Structure 1
C-alpha cells in the first residue's frame, strides 16, 4: 500500500498535481489486474476447448464400445488421452483439466474392467497405470515435521558424494513418520523384482549403484507406469529420449516398458548427464527429471552449478526441486531399513527363460501350451503392446524353467495355430478405406503376393501398399500380411465369428561416499 504524507505547507499546485496523478496510478493497477484476469480466463478457455475435443473422442469410443467394437473403442480412447497429452497446457497446472483427465482415465479403466469381465482378454493393447511421481513430487514437505533424533543421518556407505539438506530430512520424515510410509513400503517390496538386475547393469555402465533407487521414485519399479507427460516404464522415458537411447516404439512393442532394455538406456542416459554436468550426480538427477536444457538455464540464472543453490533460489520447477531430495531420502532409508523401522520382504527376483519364435505368435497360445495364465506371459513381456509378438522372429521371455517343455509343445504346433485369432494390426500409412476392416493372413508355402491379392479381391499394388512392401517383393511361408476383411471371398474368407471383438489396432552436512566392493549377485537369465 502506498502511504502519502502531505504537509500543511504543501503548495496548492503540488496537491493538484498529486490528485491528478492518482487516477492514472489506479488505472495502471486495474490494467495489470485485468491482464492477469484475461490471462487466466484465456487459459481456462483453452482448457475447456481441450476437454471438449477429448470428450468428443471419448464419446465416439464409448459408442463403439457399446456396439462391441473394442478395437475401435480403444483407438478413440487413446485419441482422447493424446489430445490432453499433446495440448499446450500442462495438465498438472490446471485444476479443471487435471480433474477431467482423472475422470477420463477412470472411465476408460472401468470399460477395461467390463471388457475383462466379458472376455478374459479385455482390450488387446497393454494397459498402463499412473506414475506415482506425479503426485509424490508435489508433496508439501513443510507439513512433515522432524521430531525424533532417529531421523538424524549418520555416515554410511554411498556410491557418490552428496549433501544432505533440510528437504532430504523432511522427506525421510514423510516416508517414515508421515503419509508416504505405505508408498515406500510398496516400492521396497517391488524392488526385489528388478534391483539386482539394475545394479548389474549400472555397474557395467559405470553408474553409481545407489542410483537404482531413482526407479522407486519414478515408478515404484512398475514397467507399465505412465505419467502426465506420456513418460513410460520403470525409468519413465518420454518417447523422444527413449528413441535417442535405442528403445523401439511401434504398433507392436514399446521397449520403454522392457525392464532390461530400459534399465540399460537409463544407465547410459544418467552417465551422459553426469558428464555434461562435470560429474555432479545431483545435477544429473535433476536433468533426468526436467531435461538438461532447463538445468543449464537455471545454472546460468543462478551463477552456481550447485543443485542446492538452484533449489534455494527457486530456479527449478517444483517437481524437480522435490525430485532429488525424494531420491536421496529413498536411498538413505533403503540402505538403513531397520533403523527406520521397516521390515519389508522383497518380491522374488525376476528370472526367466527365453525362446525365439519364428513367426507372429499369440500370447494366449503360449499360455495354453505352458498351462499358465496369459498374465504370466504378459508380466514377463511388458513391452508387448498387444496380445501377440511382432511379425517375424522374436525373442519371447517365458517363466523360469519352462523353455524345454515349451519348445517341444511349440514345435508340435501347426503353423496356422500360432495365432489364436485374426489380429487387426496397426495401420502403416496406406490410405484407410471407409468401412474397411483389416485382419492378418498367414502366408502358406508356395504362395505369392499376386496370388494372395487375388484371393482377397485386391490388386497386388494395394496389398503391397497395405504391408509397406515393394510390388516386386517376395513373401515367405509363415509371414503375416495385412488384408481387408470385407473383400475376402470363397474358402479364404476370414470368418467374422472367429474375429475377437477385443482385437487391437495405449544447516547441511556433507558425507563422502565410500564405494562398496561387495560382490554383486547376478540375476539368473538364460
Structure 2
C-alpha cells in the first residue's frame, strides 16, 4: 500500500505542470483517454517545447501572425476541434512554401493527388496548396473525411500523416494482439487469429491489392476497444511497428503544441494577441485580369512588392495565369483598389524551349519582338533545351501565316491545340487552307 501511495504521489509531482483542465479538454476534443496525460513520452515532448524551445515557438507564431487567424477562424467556423490548429503548425510551422522530400507542399503539406481531390488547383501557373485560405478549407474537409472514416479525431490526425491504409493496418494489428492477450495460451492455436494474421501479412506484402480484406477485418473487429497508448506501444523484435516512427512522433507533437497553445503562462509570455488576433483581416481576395503583374499592383497600391509576393505564394510566377484569377491585397487598400484599379494585364504564356529553337523563331511563332522575350526573361544570347520562357502575348490569338505543306492538323499539333478549335475561331467551312493566308491560332490557356 505504501509503495502504491509513493508511486501515486511521485507521478502527481512529476506530471504536475501538465495536469490541468485545459490539457484534459484537448484530449477530450481529440477523443483521447484522459489517462494519456500520464504518458511519459508526451510529457517529455511538452517539456522540450515549453522549457527548451519556448522562444523558438514564439518566433514561429510571430512569423505566422497574419496566417494563424485565418486558420483559427476557419476551424472554429467549421465546428471541428480547435486543437487541430496544431496540425498546420506541426506540418509546416506556418510556412506557405514549405516542401517535403515526398513532394508535399504548402501550409498543410498536401500531396498533389490529395490536393486535387479536395479542390486545390495545381498547374503550370498556380499551386493552391500555398494559398493559406484555400488550403485551410481543403485541409478541414480532408480532416472531416478522415474523422468520418475512423470515428475518432486522433486517428484522423495520424491518418493525415501516415495515410488511411497505414492507420487501418495499425488498428487491426493492435486489436488482434489485444484479442490474443485475452485468449492467453489458446492464442497460438486459435484459427481466427491465424486467419487474421494472414490477412495482415498479405496486405503488408501486396499493399493496395489486399487492402479490401484488411478493411473488412477492421470493420469486423469494431467491438474491440483500444486507445492511443495501445497504438504507440513499442513491440520488441518487430521492425514494422504498429505505426511508423514519424507518425508516433507526429501525434505527440500535435498534442504538445496544443498544450502549449492552451498554456496561460505561454500565452502571457508570447503576448497573447498573436493567438487572438484577426478581428480585422490582414489581406483580402480580389479578382484580376489574366497576366496581371504583381509588380504593377505593388506600384499602383504603393506597397512593398516582396510583401505582396509573400501574400500570393499560390502564384508560381510574378503574374497571374493566362485565365481569370485572383490575388490577395492588404485589406486597408481594398477601397482604393475597387475605386481606381484598372487592370493592365496581358496574356502571358510559359513556353518550354525545344531542340532547334531560337529567340527569333519563337518570337515569330507568337507574333512578338525578340526584345520582349529578352526583357521578360532577362536573357543573354543563348537558350537551353527545356528552359522555360515567359511569352507576353499581344492577345489571346497568335497570327500565323500558312506555309507550303501546312495542313490544319499540322498547325494544330505545332501549337498544341485542337484543329477543330482553329476551324471554329477562323470560321472555316472546310479543312482547306491556302499558302499565304493568315489565320488565328488560339493559345492553350
Distance 1:456 1:210, change over 3 A: farther
Contact persistence 1:247–1:256 (CA under 8 A): yes
CA distance in 2, matches of 1:332, 1:293: 28
Q: Post-superposition shift, 1:316? A: 1.1
TM-score, with length taken from structure 1 = 0.54
Map of 1:355 onto structure 2: 286
Shift of 1:353: 3.2
CA contact (8 A) 2:94 2:107 kept: yes
* C-alpha contact (below 8 Å) 2:83/2:258 kept by paired residues: yes
Deviates more, 1:340-349 or 1:214-223: 340-349
Q: 1:169 to 1:454 in 2, by over 3 A?
A: same
From 224, 230, 249, give the equivalent of 1:309. 230
Give the aligned partner of residue 431 of structure 2: none
Q: State the alpha-carbon separation in 1 of the partners of residues 129 and 115 from structure 2.
A: 6
The equivalent residue for 1:161 is 31
SS of residue paired to 1:473: helix
Question: Which residue does the alignment assign to 1:237?
Answer: 110
Cα pair distance change 1:466/1:223, threshold 3 Å? farther
For normalisation by structure 2, the TM-score amounts to 0.63
- Shift, 1:346, TM fit: 2.3
**Structure 1 residues 391, 339: CA separation in 2 closer, same or farther (over 3 Å shift)?**
closer
**Change over 3 Å in CA distance of 1:221–1:443 after alignment to 2:** same
Q: Counterparts of 1:237 and 1:339 in 2: how far apart (Å)? A: 30
**Pick from 342, 359, 371: which aligns with 2:302?**
371
Q: Residue 373 of structure 2 corresponds to which residue in structure 1?
A: none
Which of the two has greater helix per residue? 2
Relative contact order higher in (CA < 8 Å, ≥ 6 apart) = 1
Instruction: Tell me the secondary structure at the aligned position of residue 91 of structure 2.
Output: helix
Determine the C-alpha separation between the residues in 2 that align with 1:150 and 1:391: 59
Match of 1:327 in 2: 254
Given the alignment, which residue of 201, 212, 216 partners 2:74?
201
Equivalent residue number for residue 172 of structure 1: 46
Query: Is the 1:274–1:284 Cα contact (8 Å) retained in structure 2?
Result: yes
Counterpart selection for 2:400 from 439, 453, 460 = 453
What SS does the aligned partner of 1:425 have?
Answer: strand
**CA separation of 1:217 and 1:442: change in aligned 2, threshold 3 A:** same
Cα drift, residue 261 of structure 1: 0.9
Q: What's the counterpart of residue 120 of structure 2? A: 247
SS at 2:48 equivalent? helix
| 1:299 and 2:171 are equivalent in the alignment | yes
Alignment of structure 1 residues 57-68 onto 2, 5 Å: none
SS in 1 for 2:125: coil
Q: Report if aligned partners of 1:354, 1:398 keep a CA contact under 8 Å in 2.
A: yes
Aligned equivalents of 2:323, 2:59: Cα separation in 1: 38
What secondary structure, in the 3-state scheme, does the structure 2 residue paired with 1:360 have?
A: coil
In 2: Cα distance, 1:442 partner to 1:191 partner: 37
SS in 2 for 1:338: helix
Which deviates more from structure 2 when the two are superposed, residues 304-313 or residues 226-235?
Answer: 304-313
Equivalences for 1:42-61 in 2 at 5 Å?
none
3-state SS of paired residue (1:225): coil
- Indicate if the aligned counterparts of 1:151 and 1:169 stay in contact, CA closer than 8 A: no
- Alpha-carbon distance between aligned partners in 1 of 2:268 and 2:323, rounded to the nearest angstrom: 51
Unaligned ranges ≥5, structure 1: 1-145, 478-526
Label 1:463 to 1:254 Cα distance change in 2 as closer, same or farther (>3 A): farther
**Stretch deviating more after TM superposition (249-258 or 334-343):** 334-343
Is 1:263 the equivalent of 2:136? yes
Give 2:245's match in structure 1, choosing from 306, 318, 332: 318
**In structure 1, the residue corresponding to 2:326 is in which secondary structure?**
strand
Q: Secondary structure at the match of 2:316?
A: coil
Q: Which secondary structure state, in structure 2, belongs to the residue aligned with residue 453 of structure 1?
A: strand
Partner of 1:386: 317
Q: CA 1:389 to 1:457, structure 2 compared with 1: closer, same or farther past 3 Å?
A: farther
CA RMSD of aligned residues (A): 3.4
- Residue 161 (structure 2) aligns with: 289
Q: 1:394 and 1:336, CA in 2 relative to 1: closer, same or farther beyond 3 A?
A: same
